[in-house]
């Protein structure tokens, strides 16, 4: 049993979590102040989004200096104070690490151009943010490769010096006391260096055949992983795999590679579909039976659970939390889910900060859309919908200043009631001791997902009618009517029954 197998992680979107100095940006002083809140909630692990000095073209995923703290978030001393307090509050901290690319203003770009990927002329590869993945540099009289924005320059992982630099960075943060890493787009590290053109699908969308998931990338990850484990044997390594193929995603979760990977087929579904959620739970068991899946319904890259999946129905949002925190796997709560935060809504383009949303807006205008409809497109496409300032259950505001990101987030909801539900669920999870139990049963009946782990039967009724189940046992969590030997589970409700031995 490794420590993280029992953990519940909480993703902190640094800029929007808590502002300690009233400049409108979340920071380490604010985060430290809110540790008691997180401890009360009952999470035991934190994932921090990038807080390194950055051009902020892609909100910190464009790193200018890997071994420092961006002044937006404070100083190294603030980071250390926070880490000390996190330990005192029983919180393991994993940090986001972006090894696919650096910001173009990183000192390496001038001092070590050989660390990057160059080409005399572009091929047809498109950046994941749209447009060519190659940009001309007059200084080098060549094109540099960037799989994301042109300010995010892809590193060349065929160079041993790049590996050496990365190891220094990882060691630096492990020595600062972090418990592990969330590796950003880690299967994108290598490309086919013969640069064949990528094919297109029938809809005209590029298939990223030669610019990610290339042979050799697992050897690179294995070297990084074994280095981390040599520094810190109980390190927790989480991978973001840029793929929607579960077999591909799962292939990176191995003893010599990463501990867990995010399955976006489960976490990022566009709308609620109980069969899809159930099928994905089953598939994760089939594909990686001996390893732990991750469980999440939100992150900084997608619409919020409450808006995208629950259609602002609080019962549905609670039921998704119930599933996420009781199914087999390591849950990752996204900050704000525990108070039922909804999507941020933007009334004007200047309120947005996300490059993806702004590009969608300008492309729509170029295509002849009105400003109003371009703004609608931006609201649909932007990842900022999930990045609004944190609303706290205890009424504390995110910042005394003007938030870095604007827009509206309706607050006519009972934050405290939702928070208490998460807290009770996490308490139950901590006490009942089923986290490491395999499924003895995993079925979908009518619209109720049911699973047995240890001595508990979990029933998640996603149906719009009552679901009755005949069992001998006693109610351990949630509310259900009991008559004779039947438990009657209300629509959109999750219960746990402790089965008779
Ligand atoms: Ca601040
Ligand atoms: Ca790359």
Same domain, 365 and 462: no
Cα 188 to ligand 2 centroid, rounded to whole Å:
4
Same domain, 279 and 173: yes
371 catalytic? Reply is no
pLDDT band at 412 (very low <50, low <70, confident <90, very high): low
Number of Cβ within 10 Å of residue 112's Cβ equals 15
Cα 190 to ligand 2 centroid, rounded to whole Å:
5
Instruction: Among 65-74, 135-144, 238-247, name the one with the lowest average pLDDT.
Output: 238-247
Has residue 291 got a pLDDT over 70? yes
Cα 187 to ligand 2 centroid, rounded to whole Å:
8
Residue 484 confidence (pLDDT): 84
Cα 191 to ligand 2 centroid, rounded to whole Å:
6
Cα 395 to ligand 1 centroid, rounded to whole Å:
18
% of the chain exceeding 90 in pLDDT: 92
CA atoms of 384 and 354, how far apart (whole Å): 6
Cα 382 to ligand 2 centroid, rounded to whole Å:
23
Residue 323 confidence (pLDDT): 98
Same domain, 412 and 466: no
Same domain, 306 and 424: yes
Q: Are 300 and 13 in contact (CB under 8 A)?
A: yes
Has residue 51 got a pLDDT over 90? yes
CA atoms of 442 and 455, how far apart (whole Å): 14
CA atoms of 498 and 260, how far apart (whole Å): 29
Residue 325 confidence (pLDDT): 98
Residue 411 confidence (pLDDT): 61
Residue-range definition of the domain harbouring residue 470: 439-499
Catalytic entry in 58, 78, 151, 184 = 184
Is the residue at 143 inside a domain? Answer: no
Same domain, 370 and 393: no
Is the residue at 328 inside a domain? Answer: yes
Is the residue at 393 inside a domain? Answer: yes
Has residue 413 got a pLDDT over 80? no
> Relative to the alpha carbon of 27, which ligand is closest?
1
Same domain, 454 and 323: no
Same domain, 402 and 299: yes
Average pLDDT score over residue span 75-84: 98
> Relative to the alpha carbon of 188, which ligand is closest?
2
> Relative to the alpha carbon of 242, which ligand is closest?
2
Has residue 127 got a pLDDT over 70? yes
> Relative to the alpha carbon of 21, which ligand is closest?
1
% of the chain exceeding 70 in pLDDT: 99
Same domain, 358 and 491: no
Average pLDDT score over residue span 370-394: 94
CA atoms of 398 and 389, how far apart (whole Å): 6
Same domain, 232 and 244: yes
Give me the CATH number covering residue 451.
2.60.40.1180
What Å distances lie between residue 172 and 66, 67, 184, 276, 371, CA to CA? 9, 7, 18, 41, 47
Task: Give the chain's domain count.
Answer: 3
Has residue 395 got a pLDDT over 90? no
Same domain, 422 and 464: no
Q: Which residues contact 141 (CB under 8 A, 6 or more apart)?
A: none
What per-residue string of b and e applies to 404-425 under the rule 16 or more CB within 10 Å gives b?
bbbbebeeebebeebbebbeeb
Q: Give which of 70, 52, 57, 59 is closest to 151, Cα–Cα.
A: 57
Has residue 50 got a pLDDT over 90? yes
Number of Cβ within 10 Å of residue 465's Cβ equals 10
CA atoms of 60 and 13, how far apart (whole Å): 11
Cα 300 to ligand 2 centroid, rounded to whole Å:
21
Residue 242 confidence (pLDDT): 87
Instruction: Give long-range contacts, CB 8 A cutoff, 24+ apart: 82-86.
Output: 82/28, 82/29, 82/31, 82/32, 82/35, 83/176, 83/177, 83/178, 85/32, 85/35, 86/32, 86/35, 86/46
225-265 pLDDT per residue, tens: 999 999 999 999 999 998 889 999 999 999 999 999 999 98
The whole-chain average pLDDT of the chain stands at: 95
CA atoms of 42 and 54, how far apart (whole Å): 32
What Å distances lie between residue 320 and 295, 304, 306, 429, 459, CA to CA? 10, 12, 9, 15, 12
Cα 29 to ligand 1 centroid, rounded to whole Å:
8
Same domain, 282 and 419: yes
Catalytic entry in 240, 338, 354, 384 = 240
Q: Are 398 and 390 in contact (CB under 8 A)?
A: yes
Is the residue at 318 inside a domain? Answer: yes
Cα 222 to ligand 2 centroid, rounded to whole Å:
16
Is the residue at 495 inside a domain? Answer: yes
Cα 167 to chain centroid, rounded: 23
Dihedral of the CA atoms 196, 202, 204, 208 (nearest 10)? -40
Same domain, 90 and 175: yes
Q: Are 100 and 186 in contact (CB under 8 A)?
A: yes
Half-sphere exposure of 190 (CA within 13 A, CB side): 17
Q: Are 243 and 249 in contact (CB under 8 A)?
A: yes
pLDDT band at 355 (very low <50, low <70, confident <90, very high): confident
pLDDT band at 44 (very low <50, low <70, confident <90, very high): very high
Task: Provide the token pair at 267.
Answer: 């976490």
Please list all protein residues whose beta carbon sits less than 5 angstroms from ligand 1, which is an ion. 19, 21, 23, 25, 27
Residue 43 confidence (pLDDT): 98
240 catalytic? Reply is yes
Q: Are 144 and 137 in contact (CB under 8 A)?
A: yes
Average pLDDT score over residue span 348-359: 91
CA atoms of 185 and 191, how far apart (whole Å): 13
> Relative to the alpha carbon of 162, which ligand is closest?
2
Is the residue at 117 inside a domain? Answer: no
Is the residue at 131 inside a domain? Answer: no
Q: Give which of 490, 492, 491 is closest to 475, Cα–Cα.
A: 490
Has residue 7 got a pLDDT over 80? yes
Residue 79 confidence (pLDDT): 98
CA atoms of 172 and 36, how far apart (whole Å): 27
Is the residue at 114 inside a domain? Answer: no
20-30 pLDDT per residue, tens: 999 999 999 99
Cα 173 to ligand 2 centroid, rounded to whole Å:
22
Has residue 489 got a pLDDT over 70? yes
Has residue 410 got a pLDDT over 80? no
> Relative to the alpha carbon of 157, which ligand is closest?
2
Give me the CATH number covering residue 90.
3.20.20.80
């Amino acid at each position: 049993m490794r420590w993280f197998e029992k953990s519940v992680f909480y993703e902190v979107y640094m800029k929007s979590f808590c502002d300690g100095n009233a400049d409108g940006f979340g920071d380490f002083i604010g985060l430290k102040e809110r540790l008691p809140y997180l401890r009360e909630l009952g999470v035991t692990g934190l994932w921090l989004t990038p807080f390194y000095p950055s051009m902020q073209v892609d909100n910190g995923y464009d790193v200018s200096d890997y071994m420092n703290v961006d002044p937006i978030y404070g100083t190294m001393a603030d980071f250390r104070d926070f880490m000390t307090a996190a330990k005192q509050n029983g919180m393991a901290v994993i940090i986001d690490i972006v090894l696919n690319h650096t910001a173009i203003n990183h000192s390496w770009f001038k001092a070590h151009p050989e660390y990057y990927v160059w080409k005399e002329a572009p091929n047809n590869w498109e950046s994941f943010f749209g447009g060519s993945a190659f940009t001309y540099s007059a200084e080098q009289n060549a094109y540099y490769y960037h799989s994301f924005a042109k300010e995010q320059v892809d590193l060349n992982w065929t160079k041993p010096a790049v590996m050496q630099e990365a190891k220094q960075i990882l060691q630096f943060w492990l020595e600062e006391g972090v418990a592990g890493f969330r590796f950003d787009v880690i299967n994108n590290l290598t490309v086919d260096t013969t640069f064949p053109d990528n094919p297109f699908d029938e809809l005209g969308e590029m298939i990223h055949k030669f610019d990610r998931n290339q042979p050799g990338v697992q050897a690179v990850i294995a070297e990084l992983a074994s280095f981390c484990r040599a520094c810190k044997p109980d390190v927790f390594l989480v991978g973001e795999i840029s793929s929607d193929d579960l077999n591909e995603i799962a292939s990176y979760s191995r003893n010599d590679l990463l501990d867990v990977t995010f399955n976006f087929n489960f976490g990022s579904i566009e709308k609620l579909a109980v069969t899809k959620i159930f099928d994905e739970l089953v598939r994760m068991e089939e594909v990686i039976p001996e390893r732990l899946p991750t469980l999440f319904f939100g992150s900084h890259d997608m619409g919020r659970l409450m808006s995208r999946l629950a259609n602002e129905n609080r019962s549905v949002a609670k039921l998704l939390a119930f599933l996420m925190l009781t199914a087999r796997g390591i849950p990752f709560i996204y900050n704000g889910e525990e108070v039922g935060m909804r999507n941020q809504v933007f009334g004007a383009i200047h309120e947005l900060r996300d490059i993806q949303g702004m590009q969608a807006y300008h492309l729509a205008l170029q295509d002849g859309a009105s400003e109003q409809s371009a703004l609608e497109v931006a609201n649909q496409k932007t990842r900022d919908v999930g990045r609004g300032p944190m609303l706290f259950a205890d009424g504390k505001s995110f910042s005394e200043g003007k938030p870095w990101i604007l827009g509206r987030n309706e607050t006519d909801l009972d934050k405290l009631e939702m928070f208490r539900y998460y807290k009770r669920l996490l308490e139950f999870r901590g006490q009942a001791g089923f986290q490491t139990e395999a499924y003895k049963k995993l079925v979908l009946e009518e619209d109720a997902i049911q699973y047995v782990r240890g001595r508990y039967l979990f029933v998640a009724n996603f149906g719009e009618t009552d679901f009755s189940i005949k069992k001998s046992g006693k109610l351990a969590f949630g509310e259900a009517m009991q008559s004779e030997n039947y438990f009657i589970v209300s629509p959109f409700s999750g219960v746990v029954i402790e089965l008779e031995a």
